[in-house]
Amino acid sequence: MLMLNGRHRTDETEELLRQYRTLTEVMPQIVWTARPDGCVDFINNKWFEFTGITSDQAKESGWQSALHPEDVEPVSLHWKDSLSTGKPFEFEMRFRRKDGVYHWHLVRALAMKDHKGEVVKWCGTNTDINEQRTHIDDLEKRICEDPGKLKPGTAPVPKTVFADRYVIEGVLTTGGMGSIYRAKHLHMGRVVAIKILHPFLHGNLKLIKQFQQEAEAASGLIHPNVVTIFDFGISKSGEPFLVMDYIDGSGLDEILNSEGHLDLRRFLRLFIQVCDGLQEAHNKGIVHCDIKPANIMIGYSDSGPDSHKPESKRRECPKIVDFGIARINPRDVSVDQKQTMDFSVAGSPRYMSPEQCVGDPVDERSDIYSLACVMYEAVTGRQVFEDITVYELFNKHVNYPPRPFEVVCPSLNLPKDLESLLFDMLEKAPEKRVQSAQEIRRRLLMIYRRLAAQI
C-alpha cells in the first residue's frame, strides 16, 4: 500500500499516476550543446525567454552568470565527477529568470567522445522543475479529492453504440493520448474512424483543447489528400471524440519500415499529391507543424475509374492526418515546445524545422522543411540526420547541411534535380527555402514527366 500526501493509495491508482507522468512529461524547454571546456556553442531561444540572456551572450560569457552563487561549487564538483566516471551529468540547480527570481532546473548532459575517449562536445537540456511538476501535482490533488473520478473507464467494445450514432466495429490503433476505432454511422452506413481520448485523461483541459483545435484546423479542409473531420464532441459519458475519414491503408512510416525506401516513380506520384494537400492547408492559413511519415497515411482512391480495381492496381492516395498541433494564421506565433512534445510521438524532432528547434515564429515554410525531411527519408531510405539525442538533432537541423545522395545512397542513382529540390527545401533560413508546396509540386512533376518520357 502506498501513501499520497498522507493518504493511502492503491496499486491501481499508482499505475494511473505512472501512466500520467509518462504522458505528460514535457520536452526540456532549453536545449544546448557546448565545447569540451563548457563554453556554449548552441542554445535555443527558450534560454533568452527564461533569463534574458541571448544565445550570442551565452556563447561569449557562458551560462554561469545566471547560476545561483551557492550552486557554482557543487555544480563544478558534480561536473568533474561526471567526467571522471563517464556517467551522464544530472543535477538540480537554480537559475535566475528575467524577473530576478531563481527557479530550480533539472539539468541533464551527456559527453560525446571520439574514438580515443576524448570529450568533443557536451549535449544537454534544462527543464524548469516547477513547471514540470504542475500536471502531476494537479492530478494527485484531484485523485486525493475523488480517486474514482480519474479511474480508467471501460473502453468501447465492438457492436456497441457510441455517442448515440456510431456502431463500434473494432480498435484500429492505440497511442499515449487515446485510441482510434473503426465504426459505422448508425443511420448513414458511412465507415469512419473515431479518435477517443483515454478515460483517465478526461480531466486534462489541455488535451481537450487540443482535440478541439484539431477539429477546428482540419474541419475546414475538404481535399482528397487531407483527412476529413466529420464530427467533434463529448459523449454523454464524458468522452471527448473526433470522427474522421476511415483510411484503409498504412502509414508512410510503416511502409518505410517494411520496404526501406520508395521506388522513385511511386515516390513522385505520392508526394505530388501530398503537396496538393499541404498547399490546400496553407491556402487556408493552416500550418501543420508536425509533418512526419506517421502523419501521412497511404490509402487508395475510392472514386473514379480505378475504384473497382483490386488494391494492387488501384491508385494510391496519400492523406495528411493529425492536425493536433496545427497553427491557424500563425504569423509571428512561436510553437510551444512543451505542447509539441505532449502531442507527438518520440522521433518528431527528426522532422522539425530549424525555427521550431529554437522556438522562433513559424509559418508554412516550416512545413516545407519538415516535408523535405520526410521526402529525403522516403526516397533514400536514410533520415536527414540520424543522431540519437534530441539536442544533437536540434543542433544538426540548425547548423549542419544534409548529406548528398552520393554519400547516403550511391547505388540508387537518384536524379540530381531531385537532390537539388530537397536541398532547396532544407535551407536553414526560411526565406531561402522553396516558398510553397505548389512550387515543390511543379518541380516534382517535371521530374516525373521526364522519367515517363524515357520509358
The phi and psi torsions of 84 (rounded to 5 degrees) equal -75, -35
Whether 68 and 94 have beta carbons less than 8 Å apart is answered as yes
Assigned C-alpha cell, 49: 525567454
Cα–Cα distance measured from residue 63 to residue 86, given in angstroms and rounded to the nearest whole number: 23
Nearest Cα to Cα of residue 151 among 241, 25, 238, 211: 238
Nearest Cα to Cα of residue 367 among 298, 452, 289: 289
DSSP secondary structure string, 307-319? TTS-GGGSPEEEE
Nearest Cα to Cα of residue 251 among 223, 293, 288, 218: 293
Nearest Cα to Cα of residue 193 among 299, 69, 61: 299
Annotated active-site residue 56? The verdict is: no
Whether 198 and 178 have beta carbons less than 8 Å apart is answered as yes
Cα–Cα distance measured from residue 88 to residue 81, given in angstroms and rounded to the nearest whole number: 10
DSSP secondary structure string, 136-193? HHHHHHHHHH-GGGGS--PPP-TT-EETTTEEEEEEEEE-SSEEEEEEEETTT--EEE
Whether 5 and 144 have beta carbons less than 8 Å apart is answered as yes
Catalytic residue among 71, 128, 276, 290: 290
Please report, for residues 271, 289, 295, 306, 322, the alpha-carbon distance to residue 274 in angstroms, rounded to integers and kept in the order given.
5, 15, 11, 19, 14
> Between β-strands 250-251 and 240-245, what pairing exists: parallel, antiparallel or unpaired?
unpaired
Whether 242 and 363 have beta carbons less than 8 Å apart is answered as no
Cα–Cα distance measured from residue 148 to residue 157, given in angstroms and rounded to the nearest whole number: 22
Assigned C-alpha cell, 229: 473531420
Strand order in the sheet with 102-113: 40-43, 30-34, 119-128, 102-113, 89-96
Which residues form the catalytic set?
A: 290
